[in-house]
């Protein structure tokens, strides 16, 4: 009997030890921001994978674009080196869910700030002011938004751009929604759609790609103001404050201007000056 009791006690001790070890693993949760060398081994950041000039996954597995540069700068200020960043694809329709689930710590993915989204997530920034525009074929006779009546207009599922045009400007436009902007661009190239609408920064990135050279043009319309913010899980005000501090530093030390020129310069994109950080407006 004594031997059995001793064995049972040893087994209990072993279970407790394993439980303590498992709990201790939470200290290295990859979603922590931390400081210095980082609160964890990695930080997961949401970006787009299919937006040239903003968030693009290259054939070699690396990432490029203005949002990527902003996210990398912010993560470094939070204590993470580039090799500690895990970029996660977050499509427009899944951004709020990704933050709510804790899939990523923050999202830098052409995430326009508006009242509806502010009910679900918190925003740092804004860090870029873009304008909604149209991308059309070079020989298109579309010159204004009302010309879209009777034409096929494409944007991505979860984006507000195309719906805004249909509701407020061209109610007879035929709205087509695809899973990503690259699909819309392919549709424009093939003639399946007549125009693609989203932010001018996104459209300029596509128009500047070598394979589309000379095929498309921006209509040059400023249909809306789109303030890009960095999305953070609702209630995580501490991370919002840290990101705002990082963005202010990025603007003040010139890194913001450098990133704009490197990513948008080839498309002759005429960007607005850096917006006031912490001024969260629709």
pLDDT along the chain (282 residues), means of 10: 41 39 38 45 95 94 97 98 97 94 97 94 97 93 95 87 87 92 93 94 84 86 92 97 98 96 75 89 52
Pair 123, 232: CB distance under 8 Å: yes
pTM attached to this predicted model: 0.73
**The residue to which tokens 């407006």 are assigned:** 281
Distance (Å, rounded) from C-alpha 282 to C-alpha 113? Answer: 6
Q: What is the reported pLDDT for 11?
A: 41
Burial label for 150, CB within 10 Å (0-12, 13-18, 19+), is exposed
Question: Which pLDDT score is estimated for 266?
Answer: 65
Interatomic CA distance for residues 74 and 40, integer angstroms: 15
Query: What is the Cα 158 distance to its own chain's centre?
Result: 13
């Amino acid at each position: 009997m004594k031997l059995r009791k001793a064995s049972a006690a040893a087994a209990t001790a072993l279970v407790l030890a394993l439980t303590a070890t498992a709990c201790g693993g939470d200290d290295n949760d990859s979603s922590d921001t931390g400081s210095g060398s980082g609160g964890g081994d990695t930080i997961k950041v949401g970006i787009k994978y299919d937006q040239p000039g903003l968030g693009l996954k290259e054939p070699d597995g690396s990432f490029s674009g203005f949002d990527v540069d902003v996210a990398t700068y912010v993560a470094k200020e939070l204590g993470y080196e580039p090799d500690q960043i895990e970029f996660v694809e977050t499509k427009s329709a899944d951004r709020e869910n990704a933050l709510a689930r804790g899939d990523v710590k923050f999202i830098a993915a052409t995430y326009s700030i508006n009242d509806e989204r502010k009910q679900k997530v918190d925003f740092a920034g804004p860090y870029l002011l873009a304008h909604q525009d149209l991308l059309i074929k070079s020989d298109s006779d579309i010159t204004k938004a009302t010309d879209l009546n009777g034409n096929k207009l494409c944007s991505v599922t979860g984006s507000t751009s195309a719906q805004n045009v249909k509701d407020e400007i061209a109610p007879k436009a035929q709205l087509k929604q695809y899973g990503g902007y690259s699909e819309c661009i392919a549709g424009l190239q093939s003639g399946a759609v007549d125009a693609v609408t989203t932010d001018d920064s996104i459209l300029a990135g596509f128009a500047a790609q070598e394979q589309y050279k000379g095929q498309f043009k921006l209509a040059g319309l400023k249909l809306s103001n789109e303030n890009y913010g960095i999305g953070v899980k609702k209630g995580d005000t501490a991370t919002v404050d840290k990101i705002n501090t990082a963005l202010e530093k990025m603007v003040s030390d010139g890194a913001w201007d450098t990133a704009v020129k490197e990513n948008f310069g080839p498309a002759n994109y005429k960007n607005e000056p850096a917006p006031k950080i912490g001024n969260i407006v629709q």
